[in-house]
Structure 1
């Protein structure tokens, strides 16, 4: 067996496009496979230096900073086939658009946007594995684990900043399709109700309508009417956690197969028809492209299961 040479100190000069990134996030890309706890430990001990000085984990990098990356030993990975490889490969088929600034993907239902809460694999980890040469890859926004559809990834920090500005200024237009219980009223075009987020001891997030919550608004229009159900288009004006799901429930029309905010009888009926996932899909996204400055729109088709349930209805 070949003996591995011990890791050495590295000095990394920060690229201008990485300016503004927190040092802890930068180290996670430099020290792949190193646990977060170890990264914070070497920061606290002063083993990481920027321009020869100690820094805090929240320090934001500047262009041309010189970062001292200490040698860190990680246990060697075994050569067994990784069961996540199939998941990573399947993500490639869901990419709707990609260039040097952005990537748009039709996220499948059941995949969290990032690892955590007991999940080691998430969409962003999968995309980084798919594009190992990419120096930068971050989520622009999020989707719930069970929601499918358009999600936007920045491949440069400048693109991330540009698109976060659009989100803050309300310039990004996101449309969702949701199958809801009952007959959505033709004259109900919006739901305005303040939302409060509660985090349980388990870490689970639950949201409810509460006057003490944050102002929230969702616009709606009817796409198709069925017996006992309606397919609606939902456009969130604000971007609160679980907003569309809670606003539908507040309006008296919960979304099909919503395990947190759904109606048990309606869900059972939908399951008998073949639906076993939340019927909420981010169908399109419209924004200003960070490079061209032109408006672009991307649409994501419904998956086979959602198409089948609509045909059945």
Structure 2
């Protein structure tokens, strides 16, 4: 998924002392008739949870009553994209030659590395579109790796009152086979009405709980839709409680604190102002770094103007 804002903020990704709940802001995904998404990461209070650096939650959107997702070819550097659906279907095409369909409960992980471009278009026959798009920052040693794509269908594990699908990393004794460049955990957790579960987690990780729906308390804190609750390292349990009369669904994300400072602007993750300027220039010049997407019936996205100030990472806090 692209950050299609016409004037995207500079985001300096670094460690933060913030603990608590991040609330989302709504942004359009595309043109004037675009669907709206709830963006929780990054924010000024906290830009990373482990290597997780971007989180959009969207839907449920009834495609019979409005537009779906139509994101033209756009570039990425220095990250992996995680596509995870609760309902609907999205057609993915990228410059590595991948043509895949994103379906509910199936992980699609695209590695941008040194550069990739891709498009995402919802399939109208699947009437309700509902899911999340997540980005994972690549460490400096691996951020210029080659383009790649992985697909994985996790099985459902029952842990007390919860059904758990582990799509990245390890949780509840289950490990995803999908390769990541830093230790991570990513899992969907479905809680039965009134259910409570304590999930054993790696105490060296920081964790986030992103609520999709339901009346959930994470660590005793009530969450709203698309809220992201943060738990610092040093805890070996994430406690989740469904206080409502219906089912609840959430994502658990985590990883060790990311030790590097990043500069993230538009769809690029880099380390300096000059790198971001160079990536933008190469995209506008149709450079080979990003390649091209075949069979998209329209123009690719143009890069927005750069801010007038120098893009600088904030120091670790």
Q: Determine which structure has greater relative contact order: mean sequence separation of CA pairs < 8 Å that are 6+ residues apart, divided by chain length.
A: 2
TM-score by length of 1: 0.23
TM-score by length of 2: 0.23
Give the helix-richer structure, 1 or 2. 1
Give the strand-richer structure, 1 or 2. 2
